[in-house]
């Protein structure tokens, strides 16, 4: 006995036992970490890595640290990161080949990517990496895609404001024509006046020459009154032509005034556009923008249905088949009763602290009486609540997702299309709520988004950038206080459909129509004012020219007329001498007296 209790034999054995325990603990930790990583990899189809693992058999606890889930396509990209995962196992179920986690905690959970990217993990090796391609068809909108109508309307708007209406105005054309015609007509009258003047001067010279020898020019003097009368008649006709020319200018001015009225109507008609369809505008503004979040929701639902199938199939044995005896109830091999979650996710570009619980998570949900439930609540501001239920307890599989963000700051986003027309609501407080359900294969749900105190900034690009509308539209859009959007999900998980409703189309359509009306009025006024200015300039030039030419012609005609009157006065029939008077005027000694 003394020999057995000798410390020389006890101490090495205790030390050996300690080394064996430590080695077993180390080996067990490595083994369990390897098994856990392999199980997670096969469960979520992602590359999983864990830096540290510890197994405590006394506490029945398993701890993993620095757990990282990487995208299989890009191993350097960490999708999900968990700082610490602690699972407390129940001892009793292990006797029945069941792993039951009574309580677990996941702390430091971080999803660094957007949800769509995080879910873009292939279902199987070699499967497509896009989540929407994993199963089913892409989301389709109910009703006809009427956004083409809006595109046509915008093209018409561009053409409407692009057309050169100034060159089509008849009043300007007529004024130009009148001004162009005046110099020719005036020069014609002027030439005639000059000709008349020349003829009057010539007549005067001929009279002077004839008076040196009146007897020889008896015939000339006899025909002189007739010549003078002809000349005077021509002078009168030239004067009348001048008057007529001035009258034609006045008539042209009246016609131009009438044409201006017609032009005004023409311009207003050309700048008038039909109303824009509010429903089409809603589709144009929102369909493209609402599609990514809807695709995310569909991807989440599909991912849930893929990971937790509607009907649980027992894990196939590698060899043979496990028989379920009469009177035995199937039980899941793995069950997490309660898992406390704490972490950060990115929502709308903002990191949000979330706390919550994941309960009744099993590998065979149909064998467990309670559905899988996930409840997450935002720890700070903004308040965010997320609930998800995966129910496989009944005959019909049912998945529910409920997200409620009653007071969230919505980031800046764009409505419409960047290459044509788009609205940019400035960041403001809004409310987002989502409820989606998949019952059997039927999809239903609603997404509500209400953005309060919204400030919309319109932007025209491409061809429409030349349309002077943005400033006016921003003025009219300032009357809009809030935007409400509702998307209803229908169809099946394989063929999802969505219906869109929003007040954005109606209010923005009214604002656009008002802005277009005002812009058209301004454009018409500007065109008509410009035309009137051009007409006034033309008429000012014409008046100046006409007055100048009229004055010159009148001076010319009056001078020539005066000369003619003078000549006519000297050689009037009353002033002519008879043969007797002529004889008496001869000298007394003259033979002919």
Kindly list the residues in this chain that would bind other proteins in the complex (CB under 8 A): 95-97, 317-328
Beta strands in 71-220 (DSSP E): 78-89, 99-111, 140-141
Which of 399, 403, 497 shows the shortest CA–CA distance to 441? 399
Residues 403 and 434 sit within 8 Å (Cβ to Cβ)? yes
Cβ proximity to other proteins, 3 vs 319, nearer residue? 319
Cβ proximity to other proteins, 98 vs 550, nearer residue? 98
Least gap, CB of 331 to other proteins (angstroms): 9
Least gap, CB of 315 to other proteins (angstroms): 12
Least gap, CB of 325 to other proteins (angstroms): 4
Least gap, CB of 332 to other proteins (angstroms): 12
Which of 51, 68, 50, 62 shows the shortest CA–CA distance to 25? 62
Cβ proximity to other proteins, 76 vs 318, nearer residue? 318
Cβ proximity to other proteins, 28 vs 409, nearer residue? 28
Cβ proximity to other proteins, 212 vs 322, nearer residue? 322
Question: How many angstroms separate the CA atoms of 577 and 585, rounded?
Answer: 10
Q: Is the omega angle on the peptide bond into residue 75 within 30 degrees of 0, that is, cis?
A: no
| Residue 462 CB partners (closer than 8 Å, separation 6+) | 419, 420
Beta strands in 99-159 (DSSP E): 99-111, 140-141
Burial class of residue 581, CB neighbours in 10 A (0-12, 13-18, 19+): exposed
Cβ proximity to other proteins, 97 vs 216, nearer residue? 97
Least gap, CB of 97 to other proteins (angstroms): 4
Cβ proximity to other proteins, 316 vs 587, nearer residue? 316
Residues 533 and 262 sit within 8 Å (Cβ to Cβ)? no
Which H or E run includes 367? none
Least gap, CB of 337 to other proteins (angstroms): 20
Question: How many angstroms separate the CA atoms of 549 and 557, rounded?
Answer: 12
Do strands 334-347 and 372-378 pair parallel, antiparallel, or not at all (unpaired)?
A: unpaired
Least gap, CB of 25 to other proteins (angstroms): 22
Measured in whole angstroms, the distance separating CA 367 from the mean position of its chain's CA atoms is: 52
Least gap, CB of 330 to other proteins (angstroms): 11
| Residue 287 CB partners (closer than 8 Å, separation 6+) | 141, 145, 147, 500
Do strands 99-111 and 334-347 pair parallel, antiparallel, or not at all (unpaired)?
A: parallel
Q: Which two tokens stand for residue 239?
A: 């004067």
Least gap, CB of 93 to other proteins (angstroms): 10
> How far apart, in Å, are the Cα atoms of 576 and each of 213, 224, 570, 580?
15, 12, 9, 12
Cβ proximity to other proteins, 5 vs 317, nearer residue? 317
Cβ proximity to other proteins, 94 vs 577, nearer residue? 94
Cβ proximity to other proteins, 126 vs 327, nearer residue? 327
Least gap, CB of 98 to other proteins (angstroms): 8
Question: How many angstroms separate the CA atoms of 566 and 103, rounded?
Answer: 135
> How far apart, in Å, are the Cα atoms of 397 and each of 197, 426, 490?
114, 42, 17
Least gap, CB of 368 to other proteins (angstroms): 17
Angle in degrees, CA 265, 270, 273, rounded to 5: 120
Residues in the chain: 593
Cβ proximity to other proteins, 323 vs 395, nearer residue? 323
> How far apart, in Å, are the Cα atoms of 572 and each of 71, 74, 216, 568?
124, 122, 19, 6
């Amino acid at each position: 006995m003394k020999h057995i209790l000798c410390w020389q034999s006890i101490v090495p054995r205790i030390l050996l036992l300690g080394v064996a325990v430590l080695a077993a603990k180390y080996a067990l930790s490595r083994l369990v970490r390897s098994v856990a990583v392999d199980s997670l990899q096969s469960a979520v189809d992602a590359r999983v890595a864990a830096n540290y693992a510890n197994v405590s058999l006394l506490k029945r606890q398993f701890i993993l640290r620095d757990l990282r889930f990487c995208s299989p396509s890009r191993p350097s990209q960490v999708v999900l990161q968990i700082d610490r995962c602690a699972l407390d196992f129940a001892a009793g179920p292990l006797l029945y080949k069941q792993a039951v986690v009574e309580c677990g905690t996941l702390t430091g959970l971080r999803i660094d990517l957007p949800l769509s990217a995080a879910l873009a993990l292939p279902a199987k090796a070699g499967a497509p990496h896009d989540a929407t391609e994993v199963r089913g068809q892409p989301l389709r909108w109910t009703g006809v895609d009427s956004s083409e109508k809006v595109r046509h309307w915008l093209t018409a708007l561009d053409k409407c404001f692009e057309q050169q209406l100034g060159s089509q105005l008849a009043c300007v054309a007529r004024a130009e024509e009148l001004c162009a015609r005046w110099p020719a007509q005036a020069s014609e009258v002027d030439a005639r006046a000059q000709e008349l003047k020349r003829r009057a001067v010539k007549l005067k010279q001929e009279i002077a020459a004839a008076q040196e020898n009146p007897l020889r020019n008896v015939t000339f003097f006899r025909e002189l009154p007739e010549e003078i009368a002809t000349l005077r008649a021509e002078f009168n006709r030239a004067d009348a032509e001048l008057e007529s020319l001035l009258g034609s200018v006045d008539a042209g001015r009246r016609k131009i005034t009438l044409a201006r009225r017609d032009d005004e109507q023409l311009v207003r008609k050309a700048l008038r556009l039909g109303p824009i369809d509010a429903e089409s505008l809603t589709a144009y503004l929102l369909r493209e923008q609402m599609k990514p979040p809807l695709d995310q929701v569909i991807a989440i639902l599909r991912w849930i249905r893929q990971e937790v199938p509607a009907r649980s199939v027992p894990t196939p044995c590698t060899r043979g088949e496990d028989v379920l005896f009469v009177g035995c109830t199937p039980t899941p091999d793995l069950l997490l009763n309660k898992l406390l979650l704490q972490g950060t996710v990115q929502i709308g570009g903002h990191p949000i602290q979330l706390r919550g619980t994941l309960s009744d998570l099993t590998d065979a949900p149909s064998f467990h009486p309670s559905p899988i439930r996930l409840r997450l609540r935002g720890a700070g501001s903004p308040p965010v609540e997320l609930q998800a239920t995966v129910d496989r307890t009944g005959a019909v599989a049912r998945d529910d997702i409920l997200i409620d963000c009653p007071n969230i700051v919505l980031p800046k986003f764009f409505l419409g299309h960047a290459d044509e027309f788009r609205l940019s609501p400035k960041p403001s407080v809004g409310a987002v709520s989502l409820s989606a359900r998949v019952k059997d294969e039927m999809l239903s749900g609603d997404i509500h988004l209400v953005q309060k105190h919204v400030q919309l900034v319109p932007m025209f690009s491409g061809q429409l950038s030349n349309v002077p509308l943005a400033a006016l539209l921003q003025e009219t859009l300032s009357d809009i206080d809030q935007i409400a959007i509702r998307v209803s999900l229908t169809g099946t998980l394989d063929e999802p459909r969505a219906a869109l409703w929003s007040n954005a189309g109606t209010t923005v359509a009214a604002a656009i129509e008002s802005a277009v009306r005002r812009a058209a009025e301004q454009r018409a006024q500007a065109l008509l004012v410009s035309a009137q200015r051009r007409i006034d300039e033309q008429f000012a030039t014409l008046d100046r020219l006409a007055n100048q030419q009229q004055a010159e012609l009148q001076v010319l005609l009056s001078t020539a007329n005066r000369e003619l009157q003078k000549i006519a006065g000297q050689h009037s029939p009353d002033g002519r001498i008879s043969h007797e008077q002529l004889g008496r005027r001869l000298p007394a000694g003259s033979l002919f007296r």
